[in-house]
């Protein structure tokens, strides 16, 4: 299976592609899309850039980091739009898109949901044997998302959505105290 991880952003969108065979994974490719111009032009560049990458690497699945924090509402809105453009690129190529929070990604790659970007980058380089490869933090984050998806598939942890606290408590009575 070929998994494309995406770290969406309106200034830089990173992607990392891994090939998973048996119990091993290896890096196939990576890159950064640096859109220019007006915000709508940037969204189109993200869509087109990821569409090209998906086709080039023949990705089977797409894992994406879910934006959960921004310094101001306008930044969060732009980040959400960038994520939507990235999701549409994957969906229009027939891929399933799975989203992970930054905390989930960090925990899957480093074992610590509060790990720094540098710790994540170190583990990504180590797990994919990319110590001598020039990677930006955006590309490392994208690889980390792909590795998180791989890890979720490997351990078979289903992702459950909860419509509220009542739903959560019904599904997890042992966690309600």
Question: What tokens does 92 get?
Answer: 């229009």
Q: Which of 104, 138, 139, 141 is catalytic?
A: 138
- For 135, phi and psi rounded to 5 degrees? -125, 140
Q: Is 65 assigned a catalytic role?
A: yes
Contact 18, 25 (CB under 8 A): yes
SS3 161: coil
Helix (H) or strand (E) holding 98: strand 96-100
Q: Which of 7, 104, 139, 141 is catalytic?
A: 7
SS3 28: strand
Helix (H) or strand (E) holding 120: helix 117-127
Q: Is 138 assigned a catalytic role?
A: yes
SS3 8: coil
Q: Which of 41, 48, 65, 154 is catalytic?
A: 65
Q: Within a 10 A sphere around the Cβ of 101, how many other Cβ atoms?
A: 15
| Residue positions annotated with a catalytic role | 7, 65, 138
């Amino acid at each position: 299976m070929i998994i494309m991880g995406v770290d969406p952003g309106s200034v830089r969108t990173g992607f990392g592609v891994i090939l998973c065979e048996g119990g091993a994974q290896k890096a196939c490719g990576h890159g950064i899309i640096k859109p220019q111009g007006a915000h709508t032009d940037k969204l189109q560049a993200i869509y087109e850039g990821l569409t090209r990458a998906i086709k080039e690497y023949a990705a089977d699945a797409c894992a994406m980091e879910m934006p959960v924090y921004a310094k101001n509402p306008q930044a969060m809105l732009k980040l959400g739009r960038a994520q939507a453009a990235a999701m549409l690129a994957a969906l229009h190529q027939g891929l399933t898109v799975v989203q992970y929070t930054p905390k989930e990604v960090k925990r899957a790659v480093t074992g610590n949901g509060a790990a720094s970007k540098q710790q994540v980058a170190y583990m990504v380089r180590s797990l994919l044997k990319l110590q001598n490869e020039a990677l930006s933090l955006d590309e490392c984050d994208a690889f980390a998302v792909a590795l998180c998806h791989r890890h979720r598939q490997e351990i078979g942890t289903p992702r459950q959505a909860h419509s509220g606290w009542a739903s959560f408590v019904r599904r997890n009575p042992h966690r309600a105290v």
